[in-house]
């Protein structure tokens, strides 16, 4: 995956950037631990990994628990909302993980819905993002750019 398209957006720090129609060009990969022991998506979201930017774990994931979700090649459903999936790959890293690529605005909404469930704890990531999560505040455009930058660095390490 080529992450070079992210670079031009990382330079912008406008808080209203999520209102910019051009932001649809900012596509961010999101790792989802949502597969069972056989590698099949089982409808439970256990962990969300935004590369080095943010790690969110369901409080009962070690016991096989997770938050109900729906996933297809074109959509991710959570908490009564649907988020358009730009691209999807299965078994990324190992059989427990799916990777979906979301537009930045969709990712912001997805994280807000996930945050509102109260089922996920931040267990790693950049301090500013973890602080937003713990305070229950909506991630900003600048935060989305931090996540995109981490995804770009991750892509460069994997290339």
CA 65 to CA 127: how far, in whole Å? 27
Distances (CA, A) of 69 to 75, 101, 122, 123: 11, 16, 19, 21
Structure tokens at 1: 């995956």
| Rounded Cα–Cα distance for residues 29 and 52 (Å) | 12
| Residues 6-33: tens digit of each pLDDT | 444 444 444 444 555 555 578 899 999 9
Q: Is residue 116 within 8 Å of residue 101, measured between CB atoms?
A: no
User: pLDDT digits over 65-82, tens only?
Assistant: 899 999 999 999 999 999
Rounded to 5 degrees, what angle do the CA atoms 80, 6, 3 make? 95
Q: What is the pTM of this model?
A: 0.82
Q: What is the pLDDT of residues 42-73, one digit of tens each?
A: 999 999 999 889 999 999 998 888 999 999 99
């Amino acid at each position: 995956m080529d992450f070079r398209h992210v670079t031009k957006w990382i330079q912008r720090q406008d808080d209203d950037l999520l209102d910019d129609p051009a932001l649809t060009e900012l596509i961010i990969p999101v790792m989802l631990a949502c597969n069972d022991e056989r590698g099949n998506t089982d409808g439970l979201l256990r962990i969300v990994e935004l590369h080095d930017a943010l790690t969110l774990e369901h409080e009962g994931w070690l016991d096989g628990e997770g938050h109900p979700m729906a996933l297809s090649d074109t959509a991710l459903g959570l908490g009564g909302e649907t988020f358009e999936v730009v691209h999807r790959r299965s078994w990324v890293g190992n059989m427990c993980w799916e990777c979906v690529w979301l537009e930045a605005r969709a990712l912001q909404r997805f994280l807000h819905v996930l945050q509102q469930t109260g089922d996920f704890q931040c267990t790693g990531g950049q301090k500013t993002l973890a602080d937003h999560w713990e305070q229950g505040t909506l991630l900003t455009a600048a935060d989305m750019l931090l996540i995109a930058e981490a995804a770009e660095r991750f892509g460069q390490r994997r290339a």
